[in-house]
Amino acid sequence: MTRERIYLFDTTLRDGAQAEGVDFGVEDKRVIAQALDRLGVDYVEGGWPGANPGDTAFFEDVPKLENATLTSFGMTRRPGRSAANDPGLVPVLDADVKAVCLFGKTWDFHVKVALGVDTDEGLLLIADSVAAVVARGREALFDAEHFFDGYKANPEFALACLDAAMEAGARWVILCDTNGGTMPEEIERIVETVAKRIPPTHLGIHCHNDTENAVANTLAGVRAGARMVQGTLNGLGERCGNANLVSLIPTLVLKPGYADRFVTGVTRESLHHLTPASRLVDELLNRAPNRHAPYVGASAFAHKGGVHASAVEKDPRSYEHVPPEWVGNQRHILVSDQSGRANVLARLREIGIEVDAANPKVNRLLAAVKKREFEGYSYESAEASFEIMARRALGEVPDYFDVESFRVMVERRHNAKGELITVSEATVKIVVDGKRIMSAGEGNGPVNALDKALRKDLGKYSAYLDELRLVDYKVRILSQGTGAVTRVLIESADARGNRWFTVGVSPNIVDASFDALIDSFTYKLFHDGAPAARIAAE
Ligand SMILES: [Zn+2]
């Protein structure tokens, strides 16, 4: 049976950029467009030229893409203006692209209220604008805004809008659930009806996630006939987001019922680029990736508990719906309170340490894990601290430097302008290669000040830590034993895109942070192969 082609249309750089806190620079946009191209996405919507300086700059020097079609976005012409004379539309039509996607109103209520014209003129706006795209030799896509709400209110008009676009030469009409409130069964029923009128090979679906159904709605649209899927990386988008391509793509490529009926530009091979593409977007937005994201999250293939971990060791299919490497992700065996021997051995293997099961050091390590977890350490989310502890127990981690002492001072006062400020100052005494170094640092908080003081001079190790960044810092107060204990989790990253988590526990928050910080530095030095004089005697 020949499989039908599904076209993937990414709008991370346009609809995704509508999300709160998202502000892509021109360079970010180029890098994301190239990652989408590598993955095998068919269309990359770059933004709305003329609408803001960033989008305009992006289209002035468009990135070279191997396979993907770069697309500009805009709105159908304004009432009372010709397409060629509409200052909002002209830069969209003139952009250096092969395809143009225009949105237009297909809900009669919006046409009357927002545009202030009658439905006949509404149709004319669509037809003229699409015709203008075609006249410039560009592929025309028509995003039918509010289509599902419009269809429910006035099906004749909503369908007439699609006809107007098709008759004017649109390659695609895309049914948009703009408000995101439509249910999967409604989507399926309505798309089925539309597919009797518009050939499925010209029909697309664009869903928003306001009822957490954007992915389900998109799949319902595909089952009912839509052959173009629009969405964003990580489901980025205004309000609750858009349909998440990072979940949709592997589902279409791997899952029976889709994989045997359809083929996409993303192949089984290029699917390996999925996890890196998802993490890249978070990296550029300086956000910690969602550990629990389907397919690509750090926890998506994480196994906790002795029984699960040993079953996965025997056959991963026991607790995994697809192999993690297919989507560019990795399996994680978590070490936790419930951890058994199999768990610890599997975890060691995962970080590249081969130990004989009979090695007495394994029992020592297991005992150490249990003891520290009882104290409040949590290695499930702090793999780097686990690795450092394990390698220490096995005698692999050198003592790069000794911290003789540290002192932190926190001061709240009025500055010269009379503003109330809080400043922290830290002093550390470190010994590197037998040489004593004393440094001071100032920061907006005690941990920041300590970090600065430590890094100011670590002798020959300073260069290794230059590119290390602290990305996230989480504090949790645990009630355990006699008093409250603080657990600090630090996420660090380097310039090569590596990320690692470390943990520190102490009754004192600064002390706990300090331990997590030192683990992070040690992890970085160890993995960069920094030279050290001696191995810890532990
Ligand atoms: Zn949208």
* pLDDT > 70 in the chain, percent: 96
β pairing state of 172-177 and 139-145: parallel
How far away, in angstroms, is 122 Cα from ligand 1 center?
Answer: 20
How far away, in angstroms, is 19 Cα from ligand 1 center?
Answer: 11
Cα 467 to Cα 318: distance, rounded to the nearest angstrom: 40
β pairing state of 483-493 and 499-506: antiparallel
For residue 324, the number of C-alpha atoms closer than 13 Å in the C-beta half-sphere is 20
How far away, in angstroms, is 107 Cα from ligand 1 center?
Answer: 15
pLDDT at residue 80 is higher than 50: yes
How far away, in angstroms, is 420 Cα from ligand 1 center?
Answer: 44
* End-to-end Cα distance, the chain: 64
How far away, in angstroms, is 15 Cα from ligand 1 center?
Answer: 6
How far away, in angstroms, is 383 Cα from ligand 1 center?
Answer: 38
What's the mean pLDDT in 21-47?
94
Q: What is the pLDDT of residues 394-435, one digit of tens each?
A: 888 888 999 999 999 999 999 999 999 999 999 999 999 889
Read off the tokens for 266. 């993303």
How far away, in angstroms, is 522 Cα from ligand 1 center?
Answer: 45
How far away, in angstroms, is 63 Cα from ligand 1 center?
Answer: 23
- Which residue has better confidence, 123 or 315? 123
Q: What is the pLDDT of residues 156-198, one digit of tens each?
A: 999 999 999 999 999 999 999 999 999 999 999 999 999 999 9
How far away, in angstroms, is 143 Cα from ligand 1 center?
Answer: 9
Q: What is the pLDDT of residues 240-267, one digit of tens each?
A: 999 999 999 999 999 999 999 999 999 9
How far away, in angstroms, is 50 Cα from ligand 1 center?
Answer: 19
How far away, in angstroms, is 10 Cα from ligand 1 center?
Answer: 11
How far away, in angstroms, is 55 Cα from ligand 1 center?
Answer: 17
Residue in 22, 56, 446 with CA at minimum distance from that of residue 237: 22
How far away, in angstroms, is 66 Cα from ligand 1 center?
Answer: 26
Cα 43 to Cα 286: distance, rounded to the nearest angstrom: 25
How far away, in angstroms, is 48 Cα from ligand 1 center?
Answer: 13
pLDDT at residue 308 is higher than 60: yes
Read off the tokens for 485. 């204990």
How far away, in angstroms, is 217 Cα from ligand 1 center?
Answer: 14
- pLDDT, position 303: 84
Residue 361 vs residues 170, 310, 351, 405: alpha-carbon distances, Å: 68, 20, 16, 31
What's the mean pLDDT in 489-515?
90
How far away, in angstroms, is 382 Cα from ligand 1 center?
Answer: 37
How far away, in angstroms, is 164 Cα from ligand 1 center?
Answer: 21
Cα 301 to Cα 82: distance, rounded to the nearest angstrom: 55
How far away, in angstroms, is 500 Cα from ligand 1 center?
Answer: 34
Read off the tokens for 105. 């109103």
Phi, psi torsion values for 206, nearest 5 degrees: -135, 110
pLDDT at residue 208 is higher than 50: yes
- pLDDT, position 363: 80
- pLDDT, position 331: 85
How far away, in angstroms, is 67 Cα from ligand 1 center?
Answer: 24
* Residues at Cβ < 5 Å from ligand 1 ion: 15
| Secondary structure (H, E, C), 361-412 | HHHHHHHHHHHHHHHCCCCCCCHHHHHHHHHHHCCCCECCCEEEEEEEEEEE
How far away, in angstroms, is 431 Cα from ligand 1 center?
Answer: 57
Q: Please, which residues have CB within 8 angstroms of residue 352's CB and are 6 or more apart in sequence?
A: none
SS3 category, 333: strand
How far away, in angstroms, is 100 Cα from ligand 1 center?
Answer: 15
How far away, in angstroms, is 115 Cα from ligand 1 center?
Answer: 19
Q: What is the pLDDT of residues 35-56, one digit of tens each?
A: 999 999 999 999 999 999 999 9
How far away, in angstroms, is 176 Cα from ligand 1 center?
Answer: 7
How far away, in angstroms, is 205 Cα from ligand 1 center?
Answer: 10
How far away, in angstroms, is 322 Cα from ligand 1 center?
Answer: 30
- pLDDT, position 136: 96
The predicted model scores a pTM of 0.75
pLDDT at residue 481 is higher than 60: no
